[in-house]
A and B are shown apart, each in its own frame.
Chain A
Amino acid sequence: MGIQKDIRELVSANVISEETAKEISAYYQRKKSEPNNRLFIVFGILGAILVGLGIILIIAHNWDDLSKPTKTVFAFLPLVIGQILCLYAILKRQGETAWKEGAGAFLTFAIGASISLISQIYNIPGDLSSFMLTWMLLTAPLIYLLRSSIVSLLYIAGITYYVSETAYWSYPYSEPWPYWGMLLFMLPYYYQLFKKQTESNFTLFHHWLVPLSLTITLGSIAVKHEELLFVTYMSLFGLFYGIGHSLHFKDRSTRSNGYKIIGSLGTAGLLLVLSFNEVWKDLFRTSFAESVWLSPEFLATFLLIILTTYMIWYNYQKDKTIKPISFTFLVFALIFSIGQYDVIAALLINLLVFAMGILTVLEGAKKDNLGILNYGLLIITALVMCRFFDTNISFVLRGLLFVGVGVAFFLTNMWMLKKRRANDQ
């Protein structure tokens, strides 16, 4: 093995001691046994999910030849098997990730299969959203009883689907309030994962799925003042951005920092949408009623602004730096209130996006990170692209803007590479 050869070489060259050499060997030995285990977990879960989904599909065939009692037995069979597997995992295989995750995934699907087969036997039309709600409520305790991350992930996906079905895809929509309680229910588990298994892949998936779920569901709080949601969402993205840059997250790879990515892309995307004059003209056709102060939209916005401000302050306390981009949401809230009276807001948003782009470029330059630098340039490019569609800007000006951004791409990248080369020498 290559590493052993290297270690011997380092020992004979007196770079490391014999003792260190042993420690290093032992470390790699331990590490080597992990991938196997990980593979086992992945296949365990995949297998359980496939079998679970397969059972649902077989059930969906709706066997006419089977009598009602036989069908009823089949409705309970997967459920009971799943429960026995989970019980076995709890009692005999405690601490074995592959077992508890696999059994948990299987039972989760078995619950859904069981309810859905009974709906078939008795021709219950029951809407999809109440089906999802029942399914997820019955699944929820498994997260803690099994300490299963896959159940937790399926649960987040399930309650998010429930919200989309209830609030976005059916009419008349109803407010899916249970979602917030159900999300709160799984947070202690998430927190534990975060504290105890910081580097685990399951934790990483949670870091993506939780902000993604919140991004999808936040819109469901809208009742009458949907316009306000722009501020609500901007504050949410601001909060994600803050979390993504907090002490616990900032040194993580981009891949494992869902908060940072969703926060940053969300902020940029939303700002770009609002950089169009037309959007602002549409936005305030009707002015806010008195009742706006007590609307869920306003309360959520208020809460998120406080949370995000606290997050910035918290980050400042921890490492004495403040990212100017963190304040985008506050500046935006201000511009939004100006927008009620004047379309100058659109112009201000353009400046804000531009500033965000420049700040990102500067950050990239400072950290000597081409990725960040080009992301900043991309923001500016997107802004310029958006203006391309604004017909009231002259062709010459638009042309100059494009040329300018193109040249900026060249120059900054070249400058950075040159600087790197100089550093290397």
Chain B
Amino acid sequence: MINKKILLPLFIVVALIQLYVPAKMILNQEEVLETGRLFKFKTAPIDPNDPFRGKYITLSFDRTNVPVEVDSVWKYNEKAFAIIAEDSAGFAYPISISKEEPTEKQNYLKVTVSSTYNNQASINYPFTRFYMEEYKAPEAETTYRQAQRDTATTVYALVAIKSGEAVLKDVLIDDVPIREVVEKARKEN
């Protein structure tokens, strides 16, 4: 048996580490949210189910293609840094990808490359899940589909970006948060 005198401090150290890891996760996210720059990414959500983390909507994005010089340099699911710019309508898009982390003061993101074709690489953004309340996630999907059919509406994800890290803040349909849209639709029915 380990002596109680040693066991107690050891347990406290372990308990503190157990608290520190989730706390650190929170701090990292908060830092990006508070000091990062906000971008709008045009989206297209669908609804799967994660056995551990409840219901969320999976987002797929409108502009994921980026020009590359040589296709064969990139492998499937390889990690890359994508430099992000905004178009005239205020929506974000990737202008280039690189294997090394950009050193200049640019807005960039950690992404993965999904495919390359004809000097175009298709990338996956790291913010693909937006968590919703259990019963709302399927409704959100329906709401989204309706919004998608109507070409006049725009759906986008609001993302805070800082030094390659990204935190998904909200998903909006015509500038209204999707949660509110679902709430409103519920009340109307």
The smallest C-beta distance from A2 to any residue of chain B, in angstroms, reads 39
Chain B's closest residue to A125 (CB) is: B129
Q: Is A142 an interface residue (CB 8 A)?
A: yes
Measured between beta carbons, the chain A residues less than 8 angstroms from B25 are 115, 118-119, 122, 124
Measured between beta carbons, the chain B residues less than 8 angstroms from A120 are 53-54, 56, 131
Task: Give the distance in Å from the alpha carbon of A90 to the alpha carbon of B10 in the complex.
Answer: 11
Partner of A123, one of B17, B21, B75, B130: B130
Interchain Cβ contacts within 8 Å, total number: 102
Measured between beta carbons, the chain B residues less than 8 angstroms from A75 are 22
The smallest C-beta distance from B172 to any residue of chain A, in angstroms, reads 14
Chain B's closest residue to A146 (CB) is: B11
Task: Give the distance in Å from the alpha carbon of A125 to the alpha carbon of B26 in the complex.
Answer: 14
Q: Are A64 and B179 in contact (CB under 8 A)?
A: yes
User: Scoring B residues 134 to 163 as 1 if CB is less than 8 Å from chain A, else 0, what string do you get?
Assistant: 101000000000000000000000000000
Given contacts A60-B53, A62-B55, A128-B52, contact A72 B11 (CB under 8 A): no
Measured between beta carbons, the chain B residues less than 8 angstroms from A116 are 52-53
Measured between beta carbons, the chain A residues less than 8 angstroms from B76 are 171-172
Task: Give the distance in Å from the alpha carbon of A118 to the alpha carbon of B131 in the complex.
Answer: 11
Q: What's the tally of chain B residues with a CB closer than 8 Å to chain A?
A: 37
Q: Are B29 and A63 in contact (CB under 8 A)?
A: no
Q: What's the tally of chain A residues with a CB closer than 8 Å to chain B?
A: 41
Partner of A79, one of B8, B22, B129: B22
Q: Are A60 and B29 in contact (CB under 8 A)?
A: no
Partner of A76, one of B17, B22, B56, B127: B22
Given contacts A112-B52, A122-B29, A145-B2, 9 further A-B pairs with CB under 8 A are: A61-B133, A64-B179, A79-B22, A83-B19, A86-B11, A116-B52, A118-B26, A123-B167, A172-B76
Identify the A interface with B (CB < 8 A): 56, 59-64, 72, 75-76, 79-80, 83, 86-87, 90-91, 94, 111-112, 114-116, 118-125, 128, 131, 134, 138, 141-142, 144-145, 171-172
Identify the B interface with A (CB < 8 A): 2, 4, 7-8, 10-11, 14-15, 17-19, 21-22, 25-26, 29, 52-56, 75-77, 126-134, 136, 167-168, 179
* A/B interface sample: 11 pairs, CB < 8 A: A60-B54, A62-B55, A83-B18, A111-B18, A121-B26, A122-B167, A123-B131, A141-B14, A145-B7, A145-B14, A172-B76
